[in-house]
Chains A and B, each alone.
Chain A
Amino acid sequence: MSEGRMPRVYADYAAGAPLRPAALRALTEALASDAGNASSVHREGARARALLESAREEVAAAIGGRPLEIVFTSGATEANNLALAGVAAAAGRPLRIAVPATEHSSVLRTAEALVGQGHEPCILPVGGDGCSDPEAIAGLRPGLLSVAVANAETGVLQPCAALTAAARRSGALVHLDAAQATTMPLDVRALDADLVTLSGHKLGAPAGTGALWVRPGTPLAPLHHGGPQEQGRRAGTESVAALAAFATALAAARVGLAAESTRLASLTSRLRSGILALMPGAGIAGDAAARAPHLLDVGFPGCVAEALVSAFDLAGVAVSAGSACAAGASTPSHVLRAMGWSAAEAGSAVRFSFGWASTTADVARILDILPAILAGAAAARREGVWAADAS
C-alpha cells in the first residue's frame, strides 16, 4: 500500500488547481505592500484600492468586459448564488428559472431555495450526451436561464449559444457559469449573456476568490447588506491580495491558451485511450459531446468510485468522484444520473482533471498503476464487497 518515493500525481484540477507561481508572487507582494482597506481615504487605503482596481481591470480584460462590470466574490458558489438570488430579488415578480439538471449544486440548490420567495425553478433534462435541448426552453418561457458553460464533472460543453438564443426569445436574462471553463476562450460580449461566473481556484489562484460579470443595466439585488463595495453589489471588505492573485492567475491562464488547450486535450485523449485499452467497457461521460479539454470522467464497470479514489490516493494519485458529503464520503453524481447512467454506473465514475502543471508523465503514471487498482477492484467484486452501495 505504500506509495514509496514516487512524487504524487495531482489529477484533480477541477476541484482546485495548484497555485500558479505568478499568482503566488502577486499574492505575497500584495500581502507585503502595506496596503490598507481598499475603501479607506488615506494613502494606505489608496494603495489597496490600486491593487484591487488593477485586478479588476485584468479580470475584465481577460473576458472582454469592462472593469465596473466585475463583482468580486468569495468564489463561484457565491457568484452563482448572487446571480440567481440577486436577479430573482430584483425582478419584482415571480420568475421562472430554467436550469439544466446537470448544474453545479450552487445553482440547483439556490434555484430550489428561491421557491420560498415564489419563484419557480424548471429543471431542464439533458440527453445522454449531457446537453440540454434548446427546443425544451421555447415552451417554458423562462425569466432566467442559468447554464454551466463546461460541466464541472464531465466537462461537457452545453450548446450555450442556442440555449441563450432560445431563452432570449421569451425575454429571459441569461446567466452562464464559467467556473469550469478554465481552458477555453471566454468573451462575455460574444456570449450574449447577462451574468457570467468565474472561479479563482480552478485556475491556480487561491481558493476564496471569484467574480460575477454583470452586463450593465442588469437588475441585481445584493445578497447581503453592509458597505458600498463592488458597486454596491457585494458588501464586505475585499480580500485584495487574494484578488490580485486571482487576476494574475486568470491572465496567466489566457497566455497561449490555444496551445495549452491542445496540450491538455492530448493528455485526456491519451488517458482515454489507455483506460479503454485496459478496460474496453469503461464509459466516458459525454463521449459524444464537445467537452472541455482538461476533464475526463470515467465509469469503471463493476467498480465503486469510493474504493477507486482511496486506492488511487494510496498509490499516489489524487482524483475525485462525484461530490463529497459533509462527512467526507463520496456521493454518486447527480450529473451522471441525469445523463441516464444507473446508480451503480454513476457510483463507478472517477473524474480525472488536468491543468497548467500536468504532464504526459502524470498520465503515464496513472496508466501504470491502473491495472493493479482494477485488479484490486475485481478482487473486491469477487468478494462481494463495496457492492451494496452501488445498488
Chain B
Amino acid sequence: MSGGVDSSVAAALLRDAGYDVVGVSMLLTESPAATTRAGQGCCSLEDFRDARRVADVLAIPYYVWNLAEPFRARVQDVFVREYLAGRTPNPCVLCNQDLKFDELWRRAGALGADFVATGHYARIVHGDDGAPRLLRARDQGKDQSYFLFGLSVAQLARTLFPLGDLAKDEVRAVARRLGLPVADKAESQEICFVPDRDYARFVEGRSPQAAAPGAIVDEDGTVVGRHGGVHRFTIGQRRGLGLGGGAPRYVTGIEAATATVQVGPREHLLAAGLVAERVRWMREPVGEAEVRVRHHHPPVAAALRVVGEGRVEARFAAPVRAVTPGQAAVFYRGDEVVGGGWIATTLEPRGQASDGTAAEVGR
C-alpha cells in the first residue's frame, strides 16, 4: 500500500470480497521526506500515514517493511549503472519484477500469504490449461501491463490485480463510497526516488565520476559541442544540448565507452526495429506481436525473431520514433502480454534504402 488511491481501493475490494487482507508498505529509503508535493513522487511520511489511515478504515493489519537495502541494490544502483552505460532505465519495471513481486512477494509468502495484491491496472485471467495470463487493463488509458512483463507465470499465479476491470474514476468512486481518506489524492507520475525529475543530479550523487565530459557529434562525426556526462541524455532529447540556433537537433545515439552523444535531425530518430535482450516469455515464443517500446506508447505490429540466447529482434511494420535502449520492449497479442525484454539496440531504417537490409547500430 503506497498511500495512493489505487492500492487503497485494491485492499478494500479484496477485503469486501472476503479475503483476509494484510496491508504492507515498503520503506524504500531510511529517511523519508515529511511530505510529498501533489502529483510528485511518493513514499513520504505523509504517504505512510495515508496508507495507515486507510488500513484503519478497512480494519486490516498494517505493517511497514524495510526494503531500503534491496531497493538500493536492485533498483537504484541499476538505474545509475544504466544511465552511466548510455541507456535510459525504467526503474518501475525493475521495482515490480525484483522488489514487489520478488522480495516483498516472498516475504509475504513466508508469513503465510497466499497472494500478493497491488493497485496495478492490469488483469490476470486463467486459460483453459489453468495457467495465468497477463492482460492489459480494461481501462486502456490507465493500463500498466507494460511495467509487469517481467513477472513469471509462478509469480502471476499468486498475484491479484483487483483494479484490472475498473476505470480510474470508478476506483475513486469506490474510495469515496468507503470513506477512504485518499479518494481525491493526486497521482504520482514521476520516478518515486527522483521526484524533482533531476535524474542527472541523482546519478551524480550516487556516482560522482558520472560527470565525465565528452563530445557532441553530428551524424558525420563532426564535433558540434561538449557535454558534461552521457547520463544527462536520452534518445529523442532536444532541450539541454547547448548547441545554439539553427535547425532543431535531437539526440540520436549515446555511446558511453567514448562518452559521445550523437545528434541529428528529427527524421533520424526513426528505427525500423529493435533487438531486445534478457527476454522473458509468458507464453510460447511467437513470430508476430504488437510491441510497445515505452509506457503509453501505442503498440506497433512487428515480426519477432529469436537471434540468440534471450535475444529477440523485432522488426516494426512501420518505423518508430525514439526507440530508447534501456527501456522495455513488451510483446502483446491483442490484450495479452506474451513476453518482453530490454531494448539493447535499434535497427537502422536508412540502411534499408541502400542495401535492403537493416543495419544494427549501437545506441
What is A's interface to B at a CB cutoff of 8 Å? 1-2, 306-307, 310-311, 313-314, 325-331, 376-377, 379-380, 383-386, 388-389, 391
**B73 on interface, CB distance cutoff 8 Å:** yes
Contact B107 A385 (CB under 8 A): yes
Cα(A164)–Cα(B48), bound, Å:
43
For B64, the chain A residues whose CB sits under 8 A away are 327-329
Contact B110 A379 (CB under 8 A): yes
Cβ < 8 Å to A, chain B residues 95-146: 103, 106-107, 109-113
Cα(A388)–Cα(B61), bound, Å:
24
Contact A377 B32 (CB under 8 A): no
For B107, the chain A residues whose CB sits under 8 A away are 307, 380, 385-386
Contact B65 A310 (CB under 8 A): yes
Known A1-B22, A328-B48, A328-B52; contact A307-B110, beta-carbon cutoff 8 A = yes
For A330, the chain B residues whose CB sits under 8 A away are 66
Question: Chain B 73-107, CB within 8 Å of chain A: the 1/0 string?
Answer: 10000000000000000000000000000010011
- Can you give 29 A-B contacts (C-beta < 8 A)? A1-B112, A2-B20, A306-B63, A310-B63, A310-B65, A310-B111, A311-B111, A313-B61, A325-B27, A325-B30, A326-B32, A327-B45, A327-B64, A328-B63, A328-B64, A329-B64, A329-B65, A376-B110, A377-B110, A380-B107, A380-B111, A383-B106, A383-B110, A385-B106, A385-B107, A386-B110, A388-B73, A389-B67, A389-B69
Partner of A385, one of B52, B66, B73, B110: B110
Using CB atoms, name the residue of chain A closest to B47.
A327
Contact A1 B106 (CB under 8 A): no
Cα(A326)–Cα(B31), bound, Å:
8
Cα(A188)–Cα(B105), bound, Å:
53
Cα(A389)–Cα(B22), bound, Å:
21
- Name which of B27, B70, B111, B113 has the most chain A CB atoms within 10 A of its CB: B111
For B103, the chain A residues whose CB sits under 8 A away are 385, 388
Contact B69 A383 (CB under 8 A): no
Q: A310-B111, A329-B66 are in contact. List 18 more A-B contacts (CB 8 A).
A: A2-B20, A307-B110, A307-B111, A310-B65, A311-B112, A326-B45, A327-B32, A327-B45, A327-B48, A329-B64, A329-B65, A376-B110, A376-B112, A379-B110, A385-B103, A385-B110, A386-B107, A386-B110
Using CB atoms, name the residue of chain B closest to A1.
B112
For A326, the chain B residues whose CB sits under 8 A away are 31-32, 45
**B252 on interface, CB distance cutoff 8 Å:** no
Cα(A77)–Cα(B52), bound, Å:
25
For B73, the chain A residues whose CB sits under 8 A away are 388
Contact B25 A388 (CB under 8 A): no
Cα(A391)–Cα(B70), bound, Å:
11
- Name which of B30, B63, B73, B110 has the most chain A CB atoms within 10 A of its CB: B110
For A386, the chain B residues whose CB sits under 8 A away are 107, 110
